[in-house]
Amino acid sequence: MEWWLVLIIILFSLLTLMFMRVPVAFAFILVNIGGALAFWGMEGMDQLVMSIKDSLVNFSLIPIPLFVLMGEIMFHAGLAGNLINTIDKWFGKIPGRLSLIAVGGGTALSTLTGSSASTTAILGSTLLPEMEKKGYKNELALGPILGSGGLAVLIPPSALGVLLASISKVSIGTFMIAIILPGILVAALFALYVIIRARTQPHLAPAYSTEKITLKEKVVDTIKYVLPLGFILFLVIGLILLGISSPTESAALGAFGSLILAAAYRKLTKESLVNAFKGTMKISVMILMIVTGSTAFSQILAFSGATQEMIRLIAGLDIAPIVLLSLMLFVILIMGTFMEGLAIIMIVLPIFTPVAMTLGFDLYWFSTLVLIAVEVGAISPPFGLGLFVLKSVSNYKMSAIYKSAIPFVALFVVALVILIAFPEITLWLPSLIKT
């Protein structure tokens, strides 16, 4: 059977199962079982089991549950409120104040949750009622919340980022560092957009009087509620950069530090701890199942000859690598309008990563571009997950949410263009890691 026909059958089977609402991990397992039986017969089942075992018995996967535990403890301990209030006190009478709080809060909350859906839900339920009271229009109320929720995948610890690094077979710790500056770039673009719109169209974000807060109160609250989070980030990122600890050790320190922080704020209750461990087990099992499914999927593609033939075909094309990169990202952007991020990553990475290596792309840079493109899908009409999360915590029509999302989808694309033009933005911090 021709390799391209094998590829079409495999992808069609996957998409059919997903449209039947079969969970992503199980869809891949079913396709892997079918592929193993088709190529190897009953012996293929032994090969499949060995593939699953080999993909899990991997020391580099240990940071996954630890990063997830860190985010779950922070989230279930309910540390978001004080953080947003502290950020609020620093913005004063800046135009588009509440929209900027959404951007700043989304950036900070990303270090707590690691999940774009959670960040969007928190920002929506916390800020939208206040925005409605102050007369904010949809463009600067819904849009910044949607966009800032997406920052969760670009600010460590990122659950989707950990998964992507695992499937791409790059260092999870190094990748967590690589996505920091791209995340800050996206946040800066959002903030600049909000300020420009608020200044040129003041009716979108009406000015309002604010309570005067002393510098002392701002500094005290920052020391109490923001600096401790900075210390947690130092444990996770700083120690890796300094070469003091490995990604696994830093992840463990981050999880332990989040426990200490929650206890210090007297938010570490039995209920929050139980919920955090339950959430960690559910998310970690899901991620590890996806890693096993993706590994077996890659092997089946390789055995069928699809991977090698595709690489040979692309290598023979007289097309600039930047054009091929743009086509790959465009495919991800289109897929994101009707598929969830996990499914996209599992489908495209086993196919695109070997191509990226053939083209000579740095995998940390390429994986960052893929991560951003996937996240664009989360807020892209008509079926982006973030759109429906925001709808669930608000009373707005989907048409209003769709319209508000479009400028922030465009800003994500602008960030992609900048990162493609200047790869050093992504690669500079990883280059500083001391070995």
**pLDDT tens per residue across span 55-106:** 677 666 777 788 778 878 877 777 766 777 787 777 767 778 888 888 887 7
The conformation of residue 245, written as its DSSP 8-state character, comes to: S
Q: What is the pLDDT of residue 427?
A: 94
Taking 60 as the threshold, does the pLDDT of residue 435 lie above it?
A: no
The conformation of residue 364, written as its DSSP 8-state character, comes to: H
Q: Please report the DSSP string for 262-275 in residue order.
A: HHHTT---HHHHHH
Taking 80 as the threshold, does the pLDDT of residue 258 lie above it?
A: yes
Q: What is the pLDDT of residue 8?
A: 84
Q: What is the pLDDT of residue 225?
A: 82
Q: What is the pLDDT of residue 299?
A: 74
360-375 pLDDT tens trace: 999 999 999 999 998 8
Span 317-322, average pLDDT: 83
Report the alpha-carbon distance of residue 99 to residue 127 in Å, rounded. Answer: 9
Q: What is the pLDDT of residue 422?
A: 96
Report the alpha-carbon distance of residue 201 to residue 193 in Å, rounded. Answer: 12
Proportion of the chain above pLDDT 70, given as a percent? 94
154-206 pLDDT tens trace: 887 777 887 888 888 888 888 988 999 999 999 999 999 999 999 999 888 88
Q: Evaluate whether 433 touches 241 at the Cβ level (below 8 Å).
A: yes
> pLDDT category, 290, cuts 50, 70, 90?
confident
Top pLDDT among 310 and 124 is at 124
In the chain, what's the furthest Cα-to-Cα distance? 74
Which residue is listed with tokens 């960690």? 280
Residue 382 makes CB contacts below 8 A (sequence gap 6+) with 337, 338, 402
> pLDDT category, 428, cuts 50, 70, 90?
very high
Span 144-159, average pLDDT: 82
Taking 60 as the threshold, does the pLDDT of residue 396 lie above it?
A: yes
Domain count, the chain: 1
Q: Is the pTM of this model over 0.85?
A: no
Q: Evaluate whether 236 touches 156 at the Cβ level (below 8 Å).
A: yes
Q: What's the domain range around 64? A: 3-431
Top pLDDT among 435 and 305 is at 305
Whole-number average pLDDT of the chain: 83
Report the alpha-carbon distance of residue 142 to residue 259 in Å, rounded. Answer: 33
Taking 90 as the threshold, does the pLDDT of residue 126 lie above it?
A: no
Taking 80 as the threshold, does the pLDDT of residue 430 lie above it?
A: yes
Find which of 17-21, 184-188, 207-211 is predicted with most confidence, using mean pLDDT: 184-188
Q: What is the pLDDT of residue 112?
A: 63
Q: Evaluate whether 412 touches 147 at the Cβ level (below 8 Å).
A: yes
* Burial degree of 71 (CB within 10 A; 0-12, 13-18, 19+): buried
Taking 60 as the threshold, does the pLDDT of residue 434 lie above it?
A: no
Proportion of the chain above pLDDT 90, given as a percent? 17
Helix spans in 265-319 (H): 270-304, 306-315
Among candidates 348, 286, 332, which has minimal Cα distance to 162? 286
> pLDDT category, 37, cuts 50, 70, 90?
confident
* Burial degree of 42 (CB within 10 A; 0-12, 13-18, 19+): exposed
Q: What is the pLDDT of residue 367?
A: 95
